[in-house]
């Protein structure tokens, strides 16, 4: 059989085709691929963030004072009538103000926690778990301070009169009857900071970017 014209062209070239003039075939070397470039993961900075963390904790804690003032102004008092034995009893529908005072404090803490988480996140050069922990601890102190000082300021706005008679209507200062609302501020700050960190999707949270 005669060979096809295209058979010689389709055949793979032999090693002898690339032989040197002296007839020796040059040695072949295996192809080594460059190793993949791996960026070193940044480590958590603790020592350099300690002093800024103390500053964040102190600043966030002081935010409890304006929240306390706002609550003492916005929380409604409870009107009560003085009975025959000198004890005061709430008027009809006035007991709902107990829940109103609690809800107002809760909303103020939620708003403060949102602002705290966002403000601390914008400290780009200090992003990390150390600053987040400082913000959460500062929020705990701020919530407790807002509750204590707010009740004191509210009591000053609605003092109990010294000379009361039977059937007199008096206004009593609002009170916080549940301590669970103190968790609203730190939990909101931690949630906002965590959402921003997850949305960032960078190993160093962008703190070393220029």
What is the residue-averaged pLDDT of the chain? 79
pLDDT in tens, 98-108: 888 999 999 99
133: left (phi over 0), alpha (psi -120 to 50) or beta: alpha
Q: What is the largest CA-CA distance in the chain?
A: 132
Find the mean pLDDT for residues 75-79: 84
Q: Which residue has the tokens 């958590």?
A: 44
Q: Is the pTM of this model over 0.75?
A: no
**H or E element, residue 79:** strand 78-82
What are the structure tokens assigned to 1, written together? 């059989």
Closest CA to 177 of 108, 97, 113: 97
Domain layout of the chain by residue ranges = 50-199
The residue ranking higher by pLDDT, 114 or 197, is 114
For residue 141, the model assigns a pLDDT of 96
The residue ranking higher by pLDDT, 162 or 100, is 100
pLDDT in tens, 1-18: 445 544 444 444 444 455
């Amino acid at each position: 059989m005669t060979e096809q014209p295209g058979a010689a062209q389709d055949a793979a070239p032999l090693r002898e085709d690339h032989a040197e003039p002296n007839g020796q075939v040059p040695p072949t070397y295996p192809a080594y691929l460059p190793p993949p470039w791996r960026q070193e993961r940044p480590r958590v900075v603790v020592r350099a963030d300690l002093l800024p963390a103390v500053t964040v904790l102190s600043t966030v804690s002081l935010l409890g004072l304006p929240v306390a003032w706002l609550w003492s102004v916005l929380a409604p008092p409870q009107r009560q009538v003085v009975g025959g034995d000198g004890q005061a009893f709430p008027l009809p529908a006035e007991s709902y103000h107990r829940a109103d005072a609690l809800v107002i404090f809760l909303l103020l803490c939620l708003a403060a926690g949102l602002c705290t988480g966002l403000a601390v996140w914008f400290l780009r050069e200090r992003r990390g778990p150390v600053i987040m922990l400082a913000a959460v601890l500062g929020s705990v102190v701020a919530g407790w301070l807002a509750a204590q000082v707010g009740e004191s300021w509210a009591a000053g706005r609605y003092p109990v009169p010294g000379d009361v008679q039977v059937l007199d209507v008096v206004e009593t200062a609002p009170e916080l009857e549940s301590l669970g609302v103190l968790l609203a501020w730190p939990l909101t700050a931690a949630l906002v900071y965590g959402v921003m960190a997850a949305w960032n999707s960078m190993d160093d949270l962008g703190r070393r970017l220029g």
